[in-house]
Amino acid sequence: MSSLGLYNYWIVIALMMVGLYAVIARGHLVKKLIGLTLFQTAVFFLYISMGFVHGGAAPILSEGVAVYSNPLPHVLILTAIVVGVATTALGLALVVRIREAYGSVDEDELERMDSDA
Amino acid sequence: MLVTALFVVRTRDLLAATMLLGAYSLLSAGMFMVLDAVDVAFTEAAVGAGVSTILMLYALVASGRFERTPTRPQWLPLLVVLATGAALVWGTFDLPPVGAPGNPVHQHVAPRYLQQSGAEIGIPNVVTSVLASYRGYDTLGETAVVFTAGLGVWLLIGGLQRRGAAAPVLASAPHANLILRVVSKFLIPVILLFGLYVQFHGELGPGGGFQAGVILASALIVHLQVFGADQTRQIVPESLLRVLAPLGVLLYGGTGVAGLLLGGNYLDYHPLGRTPVGGQHLGILLVELGVALTVSSTMLLLCYLFAARVARR
Amino acid sequence: MSGALVTCGVAVLVAMGLALARALLGPSVYDRILAVNSFGTKTVLLIALLGAVAGRADYFDVALLYALINFVSTVAMMRYCESAEASTAPEPGTGGSEPGESAEPSP
Amino acid sequence: MTWLQLLATLLLGAGSLLLLLAGIGLLRFPHFYARLHAAAVVDTLAAALFLAGLGCLFGATLGTVKLGLILLFLLFTSPTACHALARAAWVSGLREPAQPGEPPPSPS
C-alpha cells in the first residue's frame, strides 16, 4: 500500500474507459446507463484518490490522530453519489417512456424508426 | 488489486450486469473504505447496492432483459476508447503521486477545515461539518437537484395512473413466503432504527442526512418488495411523500432564511443558538433533517413510481 | 497479531474472488444471486476486519449497513426473478453462456 | 499473548478457513442446490466465527457491541435470504440438472 504512485489514476482511467465503451458501443439504453454509472464511479474514485493521504485517518476528529485525509472530496462525492442515483432514475424513467412510445430500447432501431417517420 | 476484477463486470447480459453492478458497488465502497473515505463508503453502499440496483431492475422489467447482439462494427468505439484512455494516461504523468501529503489538493482549504472545524463547529465528523456548514450552499443545491430529479421522474412516468387497472405484477405479493415475511417484519423496525441512529449520530461518526435518508427509504423498500406496493402505500401514502420531499428542501432553505432574519448571512448558523457553536449544532441538525426528509421521500417516491409503471404493463 | 489479521484479510479476499467468479460464471440467475449475496457477506467481514485493523469502532457501522443493504438487494433481485417468471414468457433460462462479445481485454 | 488473543486467533483462523472452503464449494459444486448448501450454511458459520474472533480482539468496548449487532443481523438475514432464494429457485422450476449448466425446465 505504500507505493501506490500513479497506479490509482490508471485504475480510474481503465474503469472510466470501460464505462465509456459501454456507453458508445452498446445499443441497449439500459446498458448505456450502466456504462454511465461505471463512468461515474470512476470519477468518484478519482476524487477520493486525490483526497487520500498516506498514513492518514478517516476525517473524524479523535484524540491522538494527527493526519487526516482530505474531507473536501469526500463531501463532494457523497452528495454526488446521491444526486447520481437520482439522475440515473431520471434516465431510467426516460427509457421506460421510450419503450412505451417506440416499443424498443435499442438505439439502432430507434434511429431507424425516426428516419422512417 | 481488487479493482482488476471489476473489468469483467461489464461484459454480460443485462440482468447479470445489474446484479454485478450491485456487487461492483459494494466492492467500490470497500475501496472507498481503504482510501479512508468512510462517509463516502457509507453512501455508496446504501445507494449503489440498494436503491440503484432496485431501480435498474424495475427498468429491466419494463424494457426487456436481453440485449440484441450488436450490429454495428465494434472496432470504432474500441479505438476511440483506447485513444482516449491513452491520452488520459499520458496526462497522469503530470500528476503528483497519490497520497503524498504535499499535494496541491491538500494545501487549499482542507487544512483549515481540519484544524478549525473542531473549534468553530464543535463536532468530530469533519465531513458533516463541511457538508452542512462550510459548503452549505452546495448541499442545498444537491438537495434541490435530488428533489428536482424526483419531480422529473414523476412528470415522466407518474401520470396516467388511473387509466385501467391492469393486473399488477410486481405490485402484488402473490407468494412471498412466510419466513421472509416474518423476518422482514422483524427487520424493518431495526432498519428504521438504524437509519435514525445514522441520522443523529452523523455528527460523531460516519453518517448524516443523505445516508440516513437512503436507509430509511430502503427499509420501506424491503416492505414494498416483500408485502407489495399496495400495502406500503397504505402505510406511507404517495401524497405524503409528495409533501415531504419539498418540505425537506424548504426546511433547508428556511434554516438559511432564519439565519438571515436573525442577523447573519444566508446559511450562516451562528445566530441560531445562544453561542456560535450551539447555533452551528442546531443549524446542522435542521439541515440534515431536511436532507434526510427530501432524500428518503424522493427515493421511496421513485420506487413507487417505477413499481406502479411496471405493474401497469 | 496483525500478521494473523492480514492472513485473514487475504483469506477473505480470496473467498470474495471465488464468489465473484461464480457470479460471473453462474449458469442460472439464482446462482448469480447466491454468489452476489455471499460476496456481500464477505464484504461485511472484510470491512469489519478493516475496522479492527484501524482500531476504530466507527467502521462497524458501515459493516452493519452493508449487511443490511445486502439483504435488501438480494430480496429485490429475487422478487424480480419471481415476477419475471410470472409475467413474461419463459426466458432462455441461462444468461451468461456467451461471454466473449468482443469486449475489452479483461485482465 | 493473552489467552483472549489466542482465542481470537483461533476463531479468526477457523473462520477464514471455512470462508475459503465455502468459496471453493461455491465455485466447484456441480449444481445450484449444492452451491447453495456451501454458501448458505458455511458462510453463516464462518461469519459468526470471524466476528466472534474480532470481538475477542476488541474486548469489552462499544465496538464489540456493534460487532454483536452485525452478527445478530447476519444470523437473521443470511439464512433467510438463502431460504427464500432456494424457494424461489424451486418454485420457478429449477431442478438438479443431469448435466451441470443445463437450462432449467421452463415453468408453466
Average pLDDT value over all residues in chain A: 77
Q: What is the pLDDT of residue B108?
A: 67
Beta bridge partner(s), residue A106: A28
Q: What is the pLDDT of residue D76?
A: 84
Report the pLDDT averaged over residues A42-58: 77
- What are the mean pLDDT values of chain D's consecutive 10-residue runs (108 residues total)? 79 85 83 80 85 79 81 85 82 64 49
Q: Do A27 and B58 touch (CB under 8 A)?
A: no
Q: Which residues of chain D neighbour C28 with C-beta distances below 8 Å?
A: 32, 89, 94, 103-104
Q: What is the pLDDT of residue C98?
A: 34
User: Please, are residues B167 and D60 in contact by the beta-carbon 8 Å criterion?
Assistant: no
Report the pLDDT averaged over residues B163-183: 57
- Residue B57: is its pLDDT beyond 70? yes
The torsion region of residue B138 among left (phi > 0), alpha (psi -120 to 50) and beta comes to: alpha
Q: Tell me the angle at which helices B136-157 and A71-102 cross, rounded to the nearest 10 degrees.
A: 10
Q: What is the pLDDT of residue B246?
A: 83
Nearest to B17 by CA among B67, B75, B69, B81: B67
Fold classification of A7-57+67-116 is: Helix Hairpins (1.10.287)
Q: How far apart are CA C80 and CA C83, in angstroms?
A: 5
User: Please, are residues B1 and A35 in contact by the beta-carbon 8 Å criterion?
Assistant: no
User: Please, are residues B169 and C87 in contact by the beta-carbon 8 Å criterion?
Assistant: yes
Q: Do C95 and B45 touch (CB under 8 A)?
A: no
Higher-confidence residue of B260 and A66: namely B260
Q: Which residues of chain B neighbour D83 with C-beta distances below 8 Å?
A: 177, 179-180
- Residue B270: is its pLDDT beyond 50? yes
Query: Using CB atoms and an 8 Å cut-off, which of residues 46-105 of chain D contact chain B?
Result: 73, 76-77, 80, 83-84, 87, 91
**What is the three-class DSSP state of A53?**
strand
Chains that touch C (3 or more CB pairs under 8 A): A, B, D
Tens-digit pLDDT profile for residues A60-95? 766 666 677 777 888 888 888 888 888 888 888 888
Tens-digit pLDDT profile for residues B78-121? 777 788 878 877 777 777 766 666 666 666 666 667 666 666 66
End-to-end CA gap in chain A: 58
Q: Do chains D and A touch (3 or more CB pairs under 8 A)?
A: no
CATH classification code of C2-87: 1.10.287
User: Would the CA dihedral through B55, B57, B61, B66 be positive or negative?
Assistant: positive
**What is the three-class DSSP state of B313?**
coil
- Residue B164: is its pLDDT beyond 50? no
Domain boundaries, chain D: 3-91
Instruction: Indicate the pTM of the whole model.
Output: 0.79
Q: What is the separation of C-alpha B157 from the centre of its chain, rounded to a whole number of angstroms? A: 21
The torsion region of residue B37 among left (phi > 0), alpha (psi -120 to 50) and beta comes to: beta
In this complex, is the C-beta atom of B177 within 8 Å of any C-beta atom belonging to chain D? yes
Domain boundaries, chain C: 2-87
What is the predicted ipTM?
0.79
Q: What is the separation of C-alpha C67 from the centre of its chain, rounded to a whole number of angstroms? A: 11
Per-residue pLDDT of chain C (107 residues; tens, 9 = 90+): 577 778 888 888 888 888 877 877 767 778 888 888 888 888 888 888 888 777 777 778 888 888 888 888 888 887 777 766 555 433 333 333 333 333 333 33
**What is the three-class DSSP state of B7?**
helix
Domain boundaries, chain A: 7-57+67-116
Q: Which of C56, C65, C69 is best to mutate for the A interface (most A CBs within 10 A)?
A: C56
User: Please, are residues B267 and B137 in contact by the beta-carbon 8 Å criterion?
Assistant: yes
Average pLDDT value over all residues in chain C: 71
Q: Return the number of other C-beta atoms located less than 10 Å from residue B226's C-beta.
A: 24
Q: Do C49 and D94 touch (CB under 8 A)?
A: no
Smallest CA–CA distance, residue C56 to chain A, in Å, is: 10
Higher-confidence residue of B36 and B120: namely B36
Q: Which residues of chain D neighbour C47 with C-beta distances below 8 Å?
A: none
Average pLDDT value over all residues in chain B: 74
User: At which residue does the C-alpha cell 452549505 appear?
Assistant: B136
Share of chain A above pLDDT 70, in %: 83
Tens-digit pLDDT profile for residues B187-229? 888 888 888 888 887 777 777 778 888 888 888 888 887 877 7
> What single string gives the DSSP state of each residue in B181-249?
HHHHHHHHHHHHHHHHHHHHHTTTSS--HHHHHHHHHHHHHHHHHHH-HHHHHHHS-HHHHHHHHHHHH
Binned at pLDDT 50, 70 and 90, residue B168 comes out as very low
- Residue A97: is its pLDDT beyond 50? yes
